[in-house]
């Protein structure tokens, strides 16, 4: 078990990547997956995600095997995961104990590890490298405005770039790459997504309704994306109030698509309006003009620096709920 410090790997190595199964985490890992494939030409690349992103994992061309780690019994994941031939490099993007345990379980005697990992005897964590990359890995404040200036190899504070630099990968960061499928129905002009994993990400429903009414008065058709209402409350906040948007004339397309079909729908829409959630990252991957509402500071880490994304925040020390209706309306009208 060795901490990776930029060493050469064997030709056509075997690589494993472990990540969270939030939609945004999967999408944010795709630049790293592309760079790993390009640099190392692995003979085998396995991705350990989870049940929430399984539809995207199963259709992705960025890895050879998709194993759900999150959302099912850990024993099943272990039985599927331990390979006959050990991995040469394990990249863990997730802090949770289950991910650190899996990283340790996958490590062969001579393998390298990037990211959190239990040490060989399981009594502690594998120490990080004592270099600039190791300092970034241990930095507890990636959200800080000055993060790119603290590390000579960073061009931005974007999480997608950080994932790549922690693997000592150099060069331009690719854009997102996610599988797409035909949604098999007509798509409204504007797609919106109002639910998120945390209450502090939410924008008040009355503000959503005001924006929706204004767009509809201009003849803009609007569709609401999200999980099935029966499922949404299990993982996301804000779902209970979405019925008010349907009453205001928004077409309810929640739960009608597979995740690749959601990507296809986002590609066909004229614009997307969303808070900081998985839909934002999927929309950013498509090239469709997208307006995203972020918590100030979080945007430095989680807003992809793509030309099609307009980032709105309320400013330092203020909440997402304080972003004005007029600011959102002007941004989405410009996008349309």
The CATH superfamily holding the domain 190-335 is Glycogen Phosphorylase B; (3.40.50.2000)
> How crowded is residue 247: how many other Cβ atoms within 10 Å of its Cβ?
9
Give tens-digit pLDDT for 259-307. 999 999 999 999 999 999 999 999 999 999 999 999 999 999 999 999 9
Encoding tokens for residue 185?
């129905």
Per the model's pLDDT, the better-predicted residue between 310 and 72 turns out to be: 310
Task: Note the pTM of the prediction, 2 decimals.
Answer: 0.93
Residue with tokens 């972020």: 294
DSSP string, 73-142: -HHHHHHHH--SS-EEEEEE---SHHHHHHHHHHEEEEEEEES--B-TTSSSBPPPPSSHHHHHHH-S-T
Encoding tokens for residue 269?
């829409």
Domain 2-166 class in CATH: alpha beta
The domain limits of the chain are: 2-166, 190-335
Binning pLDDT at 50, 70 and 90, where does residue 81 land?
A: confident
Mean pLDDT value across the chain:
93
Q: Please state which of the ranges 52-61, 76-85, 155-164, 220-229 shows the lowest mean pLDDT.
A: 76-85
Largest CA distance in the chain: 65
Residue with tokens 């960025």: 62
Residue 53, pLDDT > 90, answer yes
Distance CA 291, CA 272 (A): 6
Give tens-digit pLDDT for 202-236. 999 999 999 999 999 999 999 999 988 766 655 44
Binning pLDDT at 50, 70 and 90, where does residue 107 land?
A: confident
In the β-sheet with 2-3, what is the strand arrangement from edge to edge?
A: 2-3, 107-114, 87-92, 14-18, 44-50, 65-70
Distance CA 116, CA 81 (A): 18
pLDDT (mean) for 26-50: 97
């Amino acid at each position: 078990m060795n901490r990776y410090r930029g060493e050469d790997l064997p030709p056509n190595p075997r690589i494993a990547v472990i990540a969270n199964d939030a939609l945004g985490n999967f999408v944010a890992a795709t630049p790293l997956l592309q760079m790993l494939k390009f640099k190392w030409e692995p003979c085998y690349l396995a991705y350990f995600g989870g049940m929430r992103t399984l539809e995207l994992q199963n259709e992705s061309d960025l890895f050879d095997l998709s194993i759900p780690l999150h959302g099912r019994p850990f024993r099943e994941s272990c039985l599927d995961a331990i390979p006959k031939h050990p991995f040469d490099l394990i990249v863990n993007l997730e802090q949770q104990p289950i991910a650190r345990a899996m990283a340790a379980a996958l490590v062969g005697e001579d393998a390298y590890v990037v990211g959190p990992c239990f040490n060989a005897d399981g009594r502690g964590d594998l120490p990080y490298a004592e270099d600039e990359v190791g300092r970034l890995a241990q930095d507890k404040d990636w959200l800080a405005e000055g993060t790119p200036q603290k590390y000579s190899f960073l061009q931005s504070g974007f999480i997608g770039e950080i994932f790549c630099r922690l693997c000592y990968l150099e060069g331009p960061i690719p854009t997102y790459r996610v599988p797409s499928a035909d949604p098999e129905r007509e798509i409204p002009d504007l797609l919106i997504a109002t639910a998120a994993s945390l209450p502090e990400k939410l924008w008040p429903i009355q503000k959503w309704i005001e924006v929706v009414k204004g767009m509809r008065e201009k003849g803009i058709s609007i569709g609401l994306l999200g999980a099935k209402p029966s499922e949404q409350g299990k993982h996301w906040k804000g779902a209970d109030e979405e019925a008010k948007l349907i009453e205001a004339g928004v077409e309810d397309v929640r739960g009608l698509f597979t995740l690749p079909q959601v990507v296809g729908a986002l590609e066909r829409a004229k614009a997307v309006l969303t808070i900081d959630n998985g839909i934002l990252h999927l929309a950013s991957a498509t090239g469709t003009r997208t307006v995203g509402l972020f918590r100030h500071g979080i945007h430095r880490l989680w807003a992809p620096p793509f030309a099609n994304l307009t980032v709105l925040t309320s400013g330092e020390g203020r909440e997402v709920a304080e972003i004005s209706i007029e600011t959102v309306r002007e941004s989405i009208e410009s996008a349309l």
